[in-house]
Amino acid sequence: MEDERPDVLTIGQLAHRTGLSVRTLRFWSDEGAVPPVARSASGYRLYDAESVARVELVRTLRELGLGLDDVCRVLNGRTTVAEVADAHVAALDAQIRSLKVSRAVLSTVSKRGSTAEETALMNRLARLSAAERKQIIDEFKEEVFGGLTVDPHLRDRLRTFSIELPDDPTPEQVDAWIELAELVRDPGFRARMRTMLELSTPVPGQSRPPGASIWWARQVVQTVAEVRKRGIAPEGPAAAEVLSELFGDADRAAVLLCLEAGIEAEAERYRRLVARVRGQYSSPDATEELEWLARALRAADQASRMSLGFPG
C-alpha cells in the first residue's frame, strides 16, 4: 500500500505520528472532524500530511474544552475559532462562578460541621439571583429601619443602603453572604437590631441619645482600644475617668441600655459581614472593646448606687 501511495498514512501510522490512539482518531473520523482523504483497495482509511495538521488543530480545540460539534463547525468554515472561543469564555466564566459558589458552600459546611438540611439551605442562599438577594435585604431594611424617625440625611442613607454580592464573588464573599443572609432572615436578630436603632438613632428636634456615639462614631471604640492597651481595668478609678471623657454628664443608665442592646444584637458581627460581602476594608472587631465599656458602665453604676446608700 505504501509503495502504491507513499504520500498517505494508515490510521495506525497517523496515530504513531500524532501520539494519539487509533480509537480516538477513528472516533474523530467517524464524527467528521478528521475525515480520511481516501480509502485503500481493502477499504482502510488513508490520511495525508494535511490530516496530521488537522489532527493537531482538533486536539488543541478539544484541550481548550470545545465539543466535537463546535470543532467540526470551525473546520468546515461555518464559524470562526474566535466566535467559538468567545462563547466558551462566557460559558467558562459561568462555570468558574458556579465552582466558586460550590467551594464556598462546602468550605462553610466543613467549618460548621453542618447537617444535610443546613447544607441544602446554605446552597440555596448562595445561589440566589441578584433580585432574590435584594428582596431579602429589602425585607430586612423595612422591618429594622422602616418607620424610624430620623433626619432627612440619615433617612436617605438608609433608603439607599444596599448589600450586593458581586457578579464574580470570591469564596470569602460567598461565605460571608451565606452567614449574613441567615442572620438578617432571623426574626430575633431583626427585633434586636430594631431595639438598638431605636435607642441609638438621633431624632430631629431632640437631643442626641446618650449612647448614640457608640454606634454612630468610631471614636468611642478607638478610645477604649487605647485604654485597654494601657492595661486599664474596667472596674478601676481610671475607667471612671474614661467614662466621663466619653459621655460627660449623660445618663449612664441609658448609655448602658443602648450598648447592651447593640451587643445582644451582634451589631459588630453584622457590620463586619456587610463589609466582607462588599469586599470592603472593615475596621477590627470591636466586640472586646464594647464588652470592656459595658463592664465599666456597670461598675460605675454599682459604685454610684453604693455611694448613695443603695444596695449593690
Same domain, 145 and 116: no
For the segment 227-267, what is each residue's pLDDT rounded down to a tens digit? Answer: 999 999 999 889 999 999 999 888 999 999 999 999 999 99
- CA 178 – CA 139 distance, rounded (Å): 16
Same domain, 201 and 240: yes
Sorting pLDDT into bands at 50, 70 and 90, what band is 3? Answer: very low
Same domain, 179 and 283: yes
Same domain, 184 and 277: yes
Same domain, 220 and 179: yes
Q: Assess if residue 16 is contained within a domain.
A: yes
Q: Assess if residue 168 is contained within a domain.
A: yes
Same domain, 123 and 135: no
For the segment 27-78, what is each residue's pLDDT rounded down to a tens digit? Answer: 999 999 999 999 988 899 999 999 999 999 999 888 888 889 989 988 888 8
Same domain, 277 and 163: yes
Same domain, 58 and 200: no
Q: Assess if residue 25 is contained within a domain.
A: yes
- Of 36-45, 134-143, 183-192, 211-220, which gets the smallest average pLDDT? 211-220
Query: CA 210 → CA 81, 248, 256, 286, distances in Å?
Result: 67, 10, 9, 19
Same domain, 178 and 280: yes
Sorting pLDDT into bands at 50, 70 and 90, what band is 2? Answer: very low
Average pLDDT rounded to a whole number, residues 282-298:
92
Q: Assess if residue 50 is contained within a domain.
A: yes
| SS3 readout for 14-81 | HHHHHCCCHHHHHHHHHCCCCCCCEECCCCCEEECHHHHHHHHHHHHHHHCCCCHHHHHHHHCCCCCH
Same domain, 89 and 187: no
Sorting pLDDT into bands at 50, 70 and 90, what band is 151? Answer: confident
pLDDT in the model for residue 6: 64
For the segment 193-237, what is each residue's pLDDT rounded down to a tens digit? Answer: 999 989 988 777 778 888 888 887 788 999 999 999 999 999 988
Q: Assess if residue 291 is contained within a domain.
A: yes
**CA angle (184 as vertex; 219, 196 as ends), nearest 5:** 40
Write the single-letter amino acid at 148: L
pLDDT in the model for residue 77: 87
pLDDT in the model for residue 174: 87
Q: Assess if residue 1 is contained within a domain.
A: no
The total number of structural domains that make up the chain: 3
Same domain, 141 and 260: yes
Residue 36 CA to its chain's centroid (Å)? 52
Same domain, 236 and 302: yes
pLDDT in the model for residue 89: 85
Q: Assess if residue 2 is contained within a domain.
A: no
Indicate if the pLDDT at residue 136 is higher than 80. Answer: yes
Query: CA 20 → CA 16, 43, 98, 214, distances in Å?
Result: 7, 22, 33, 70
Indicate if the pLDDT at residue 158 is higher than 90. Answer: no
Query: CA 274 → CA 22, 173, 181, distances in Å?
Result: 57, 9, 10
- CA 208 – CA 263 distance, rounded (Å): 20
**CATH code at position 35:** 1.10.1660.10
The whole-chain average pLDDT of the chain stands at 86
Indicate if the pLDDT at residue 170 is higher than 50. Answer: yes
Domain that holds residue 89: 80-127
